[in-house]
Amino acid sequence: MDPIPDGPLYDGPLLDGLRLDGTGPLHAQLLRALRADILQGRLPPGSRLPPTRALAVELGLSRNTVLGAYDQLRAEGFIEARVGSGSRVAQVPHAAPARPQPAPARVAAQTAYARRARERLDLPGIPGRDVPGARWAFQYGVPFANPALTTAWAQALSRAARYTRPHYPSAHGLPALREAICDYLFRRRGVHAAPEDVLVVAGTQQALALTARVLLEPGDEAAIEEPHYNAIRSVLQVHGARLRPVQVDADGLRCDRLPASRPPRLVCVTPSHQFPTGAVMSPSRRLALLDYAQRHGSWIFEDDYDGEFRYGGRPLAALRALDGAGRVIYVGTFSKALYPALRLGYMVLPPGLRDDFVAAKWLEDFGSPAIEQAALAAFIGDGGFERHLRRAARALRERRQALIDGLRACGRGRLELADSNAGMHLTVWLRGRGRADGERLIALARARGLGLYPIAPYYLAPPDRAGLLMGYAGLSVGQIRAGLACFADCLDALDAAP
């Protein structure tokens, strides 16, 4: 290190302009602020830093906090201490006045995958269209917030953090969680699965990415519902699959529209609650789809994303429960029942595919986080999860009813509600209006602080109808009513527009 040059002595106000960013521990804030001042030339080499005691008094910090920051700066080589003359800024090679950096130019896409991802994904739009400053946002995918769940989950997590082995977890998933999932699926979804058939994954999204990797060569065909969950479409497209959209009606996927020759290798469906229309796949369609898959050697990706919440009728058995031929990959997620932030879900795999999927998961990330898995296993095992589901289902039922009643009242015949008995969203159509009118309504709502979201992104070829996807899990009954009062004004304003 160069000797410290004789620089200006520090004798002005104590580091005028030093600004702490308010994030994290105080010594770290001070360290960041001083380091930035040195790097950006506001404290040039040779400058004397104020004595720790004086700076502590000036900033209202403890002296230990300042000492800690100085020690760290010294260890990093930014300052040097001299007996009798305190600390000075060292001759740091990169200490130069700040110059605005040009924004880095994006390089050309380096692979076919990156090219497809750029074409398909509108990154600023991920994960959904935000309506900044919305007072009421009927946004799909916002979880049901429950303080009791937060408390219970925090306890489960902290216990798991204390007792979980800190080694790499099994790529397959923690045995305790796989067992808890099997038990839950048997009781709630009629699915018989052995723990070795279950693979713990980072949500439906990873389940589909692994499925594409294990089952589809680029160029292979995958059938998806039309309309469908747009993230499924993106994963398949970016993987390089060719998509075959297949219409849905009130009984779910139109299996008769699946091709008789050149069958797709994969068929992705949401039979318990078609996304986004809400249709439940009828028993005869279920059998027809299973028969098709068996005859043609297709695989079925059964996305059972919100099967936990249903408000009427008996749930039909999952496709997986009827699958005698081992063609169904059943996928569940904790994004709806708990939080999307958890990024935990599971696959129930046909035995013949198990090893390929576990290998793909290992290659991807070595396995899902063990502490969260252990916490979840305990939470399911001690009944906390199902207690939460019962509570959430009661609250969601009330919210859904408030939304339906409110839409009927404010629609005055102008709206059509898709029949749906489950989940956390409703599909709503504006009678006799085209997509442009739907966009106009959304803009009117946005200007009034109301978040409304179009249905069109969930189609490969959207119909020229004004449709909305209305999520209600994140709004209280009071907020839903207030939001719908605003919605009624927007409908009136749309009617009044020339």
Ligand X SMILES: Cc1ncc(COP(=O)(O)O)c(C=O)c1O
Task: Point out which residues bind ligand X (CB under 6 A).
Answer: 141, 203-205, 229, 270, 275, 303, 305, 333, 335, 340, 345
Q: Phi first, then psi: what are they for 400, rounded to 5°?
A: -60, -45
CB closer to ligand X out of 43 and 424? 424
In whole angstroms, the minimum distance from the beta carbon of 18 to ligand X comes to 43
List phi, psi (to 5°) of 243: -100, 140
Q: By the 8 A CB rule, do 248 and 225 touch?
A: yes
Give the nearest distance from C-beta 279 to ligand X in angstroms.
Answer: 13
Q: How far is the CB of 396 from ligand X (least distance, A)?
A: 15
Q: How far is the CB of 205 from ligand X (least distance, A)?
A: 4
Complex with ligand X: residue 15 or 342, whichever CB lies closer:
342
- What minimum distance in Å lies between the beta carbon of 480 and ligand X? 19
Residue 119's alpha-carbon distances to 113, 205, 240, in angstroms, are 10, 19, 12
Could you tell me the smallest distance in angstroms from the CB atom of residue 401 to ligand X?
21
Please say which residue, 229 or 487, places its beta carbon nearer to ligand X: 229
Nearer to ligand X, 65 or 335 (CB): 335
Residue type, position 463, single letter: P
CB of 270 to ligand X, least distance (A): 5
**Residues 6+ away with beta carbon under 8 Å from 400:** 311, 426, 472
Q: Which residue is nearest to ligand X (CB)?
A: 203
Based on CB atoms, which residue is closest to ligand X, 38 or 396?
396
3-state secondary structure of 31: helix
For residue 475, the Cα-to-chain-centroid distance in whole angstroms is 18
- Which string of DSSP letters, residue by residue, matches 387-454? HHHHHHHHHHHHHHHHHHHHHHHHHTTSEEEPP--BSSEEEEEETT--HHHHHHHHHHHHHTTEE--B
- Evaluate whether 348 touches 320 at the Cβ level (below 8 Å): yes
153, 338 contact by CB (below 8 A): yes
Closer residue to ligand X in complex, CB, 31/347: 347
Side-chain-facing half-sphere of 368: CA atoms under 13 Å: 25
The two tokens of residue 237 are 């497209």
**Cis, peptide link before residue 276, omega less than 30° from 0:** yes
To the nearest whole angstrom, how small is the minimum distance from the Cβ of residue 223 to ligand X? 15
- CA–CA dist 275, 406 (Å, integer): 22
The strand pair at 467-471 and 266-269 is best described as unpaired
Instruction: In angstroms, give the least distance from the CB of 424 to ligand X.
Output: 9
Of 229, 305, 240, nearest in space to 272 by CA: 305
107 vs 341, beta carbon nearer ligand X: 341
What is the residue whose two structure tokens read 């609250």?
395
* Cβ closest to ligand X, residue 305 vs residue 357: 305
Q: Which is nearer to ligand X, 78 or 458 (CB)?
A: 458
| Residue closer to ligand X, measured from CB, 286 or 433 | 286
The answer to whether 380 and 173 have CB atoms below 8 angstroms apart is: no
Q: How far is the CB of 60 from ligand X (least distance, A)?
A: 44
Strands 328-333 and 345-348: antiparallel
Q: Is 190 exposed, middle or buried (0-12, 13-18, 19+ CB in 10 A)?
A: middle
Contact 470, 138 (CB under 8 A): yes
**Which amino acid belongs to residue 324?**
G
C-alpha distance across the termini of the chain, in Å: 75
**Nearest-approach distance from CB 366 to ligand X, in angstroms:** 19
Give the integer Cα–Cα distance in Å for 293 and 271: 15
CB of 231 to ligand X, least distance (A): 7
Judged by CB, which is closer to ligand X: 234, or 270? 270
Would you say 240 or 340 has its CB closer to ligand X? 340
